[in-house]
Amino acid sequence: MKIIDHGVWVKYKPDKPRAEAPVNAMYMRRESDGVDWYDYVRPNFYQMFPRPQSLLELTGETEPLVPNFKPDSLICNVYYHEHFKAHVVGTAARDPTAIAPINQRVIEIVGFDGDDPHAEFGGKVYDHEAGTFSVLAQRPPAPPTPIEQKILDRLDAIEARLEKLERMS
């Protein structure tokens, strides 16, 4: 398997919303160079879902646009999970338009031939430097709230009284 890093994508507000965009559109751009997410995935979208019009007619381009993601590769959004202090894979899908990577890194996994990419990678810890995936450590139990602690203390007192009664009989 080969991992390709497509950078970190952040939310932004364009000066002028796109005419074809819905009113509630979320705009994302790559942190490193400002490329818009929808412009980035559009060639893949038209490759996956061909239209009666050609991509050249729709975009006004003179040359065919080259898709940024390879066919049959996996696209994963990776976010930082504050509680675990780790980068975690959110979604693993073959369709890059299926994710909205706001404040997330996008990686592409080439060469995965399994049947369920989300079961294989979703929720896994991703080490960007090593290019590895690992299982997320079990989350430690949260400490009891003050009310829960009062209940636990009361139960301990009841248990102690029961033990005392049992010894007397």
Average pLDDT over residues 127-155: 90
Name the more confident of 137 and 73.
Answer: 73
pLDDT at 158 over 60: yes
Query: For residue 16, what pLDDT band results from cuts at 50, 70 and 90?
Result: confident
pLDDT at 153: 95
- The answer to whether residue 89 scores a pLDDT higher than 60 is yes
Which of 8-22, 34-48, 58-72, 129-143 is the least confident region? 58-72
Span 152-156, average pLDDT: 95
- pLDDT recorded at residue 51: 62
How many helices (DSSP H) and strands (DSSP E) are in the chain? 4, 7
DSSP state of 29: E
Distance CA(65)–CA(41), nearest Å, equals: 11
The pLDDT of residue 103 is 95
Average pLDDT, the chain: 87
Residue 130 CA from chain centroid, whole number = 19
What is the percentage of the chain residues whose pLDDT exceeds 70?
A: 89
Note whether 68 and 44 are within 8 A (CB): yes
> How far is it, in rounded angstroms, from Cα 43 to Cα 52?
15
| Strand residue runs (E) in 13-103 | 27-30, 74-81, 86-93
The predicted pLDDT at position 49 comes to 67
* Cβ neighbours for 57, distance < 8 A, ≥ 6 positions apart: none
pLDDT above 70: residue 56: no
> Starting at the edge strand that comes first in sequence, how are the strands of the sheet with 125-127 ordered?
27-30, 2-12, 104-110, 74-81, 86-93, 125-127, 132-134
Would you place residue 137 in the very low, low, confident or very high pLDDT band (cuts 50, 70, 90)?
Answer: confident
pLDDT value, residue 4: 96
**pLDDT of 55 higher than 60:** no
Q: Distance between alpha carbon 70 and the CA centroid of its chain, in Å?
A: 19
> Tokens 């979703």 correspond to what residue?
122
In which band, very low, low, confident or very high, does the pLDDT at 141 lie, cut at 50, 70 and 90? confident
